[in-house]
């Protein structure tokens, strides 16, 4: 039996990776009412039930839980509450980030778990991967995020002045902070490419581009990154998770990168890797299964 890895659907892990690494994904709630979409976090009861099932599957070896930053969702706090039911065996990592930075940490931990890694080791590699990662978000507009209350106070104050620009936000300590503003998408992508190239420091990078109904734009950024990243780097293109797309709006592009150059400082050599990259790279389906866990029959409606 092995340590089990649990994430919520905000990470945007596609079905291929979920199945390859045997990761459990619990879907955040997306509600539709009067043509308006909204989201809600998972409850402690839902998460406790999920963790109990995974402990049973893993022979009580333990669970590493990775959820959307506590500053962006109530799910993390609910996870901490749920983990108290299983003292010592469910480790809730404080991710302080979003998107495929969390997905990459889940992949690293699941790979180690598959090789017989202990609960402590799986928690450590997940935390190290997160510490070696950065996430940026390029937006067509700020209205959806501003209304959701998920902008930092400083960025929210600036939002009116940013209406005529294409802002780039950086997920910093679980908050969305302004990293730059441009007039065009092309200039924004040049800026993002420069940010990743500078932090790569000549060593391989695992990067994931997540888009909200903008596959052409995402491929354009992918091509720009592939031109400048060091040999051995990987760039995936995936859709943004539905629960995140509700808040960032159409046309948004998320970019998460795990840097080998930073990994050693955090005790995680190398970078995340996806075997058979070609089979993953083109994946556009996330395979949501509703309110239950991926690969299992959804539970009763709550």
- Non-local CB neighbours of 288 within 8 Å, separated by 6+ positions: 9, 27, 242, 294
Indicate the length of the chain as a whole number.
Answer: 302
Position 181 scores a pLDDT of: 85
CATH number 3.30.1180.10 given to 133-281: yes
Calculate the alpha carbon distances from 186 to 139, 150, 192, 202 in Å: 13, 26, 10, 24
Nearest to 86 by CA among 116, 122, 118, 119: 119
pTM (predicted TM-score): 0.85
Residues of the chain with CATH 3.40.50.10170: 4-131
Nearest to 249 by CA among 137, 103, 102: 137
Calculate the alpha carbon distances from 222 to 147, 208, 213, 235, 282 in Å: 30, 9, 15, 7, 12
Contact 4, 62 (CB under 8 A): yes
Token readout for 200 is 């790569």
Position 148 scores a pLDDT of: 55
Report the distance separating Cα 188 and Cα 133, nearest Å.
20
Position 142 scores a pLDDT of: 65
Report the distance separating Cα 83 and Cα 16, nearest Å.
28
Report the distance separating Cα 17 and Cα 261, nearest Å.
24
Report the distance separating Cα 72 and Cα 148, nearest Å.
10
Fold designation for 4-131: Rossmann fold (3.40.50)
Instruction: pLDDT tens for the chain, 302 residues: list them.
Output: 699 999 999 999 999 999 999 999 999 999 888 778 788 999 999 999 999 999 999 999 999 999 999 989 999 999 999 999 999 999 999 999 999 999 999 999 999 999 999 999 999 999 999 999 999 999 887 665 555 555 544 454 444 455 557 889 999 898 888 888 888 999 999 999 999 999 999 999 999 999 999 999 999 999 999 999 999 999 999 999 999 988 888 899 999 999 998 876 656 655 577 653 333 333 344 433 333 565 443 333 33
Residues of the chain with CATH 3.30.1180.10: 133-281
């Amino acid at each position: 039996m092995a340590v089990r890895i649990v994430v919520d659907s905000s990470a945007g892990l596609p079905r291929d990776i979920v199945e390859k690494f045997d990761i459990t994904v619990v879907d955040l709630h997306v509600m539709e009412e009067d043509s308006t979409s909204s989201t809600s976090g998972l409850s402690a009861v839902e998460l406790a039930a999920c963790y109990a099932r995974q402990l049973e599957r893993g022979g009580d070896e333990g669970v590493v839980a990775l959820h959307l930053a506590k500053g962006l969702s109530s799910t993390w706090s609910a996870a901490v509450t749920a983990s108290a039911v299983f003292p010592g065996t469910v480790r809730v990592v404080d991710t302080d980030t979003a998107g495929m930075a969390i997905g990459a940490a889940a992949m690293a931990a699941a790979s180690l778990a598959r090789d017989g890694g202990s609960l402590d080791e799986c928690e450590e590699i997940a935390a190290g991967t997160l510490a070696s990662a950065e996430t940026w978000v390029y937006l067509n507009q700020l209205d959806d995020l501003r209304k959701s209350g998920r902008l930092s106070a400083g960025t929210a104050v600036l939002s009116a002045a940013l209406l005529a620009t294409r802002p780039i936000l950086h997920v910093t300590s679980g908050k969305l902070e302004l990293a730059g503003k441009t007039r065009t998408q092309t200039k924004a992508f040049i800026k993002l490419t420069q940010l990743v190239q500078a932090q790569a420091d000549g060593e391989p990078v695992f990067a994931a581009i997540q888009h909200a109904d903008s596959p052409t734009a995402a491929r354009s950024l992918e091509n720009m990154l592939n031109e400048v990243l060091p040999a051995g780097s990987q760039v995936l293109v995936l859709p943004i998770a539905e629960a995140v797309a509700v808040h960032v709006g159409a046309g948004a592009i998320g970019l998460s990168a795990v840097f080998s150059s930073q990994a050693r400082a955090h005790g995680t050599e190398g970078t995340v890797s996806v075997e058979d990259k070609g089979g993953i790279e083109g994946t556009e389906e996330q395979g949501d299964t509703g309110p239950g866990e991926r690969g299992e029959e959804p539970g009763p409606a709550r």
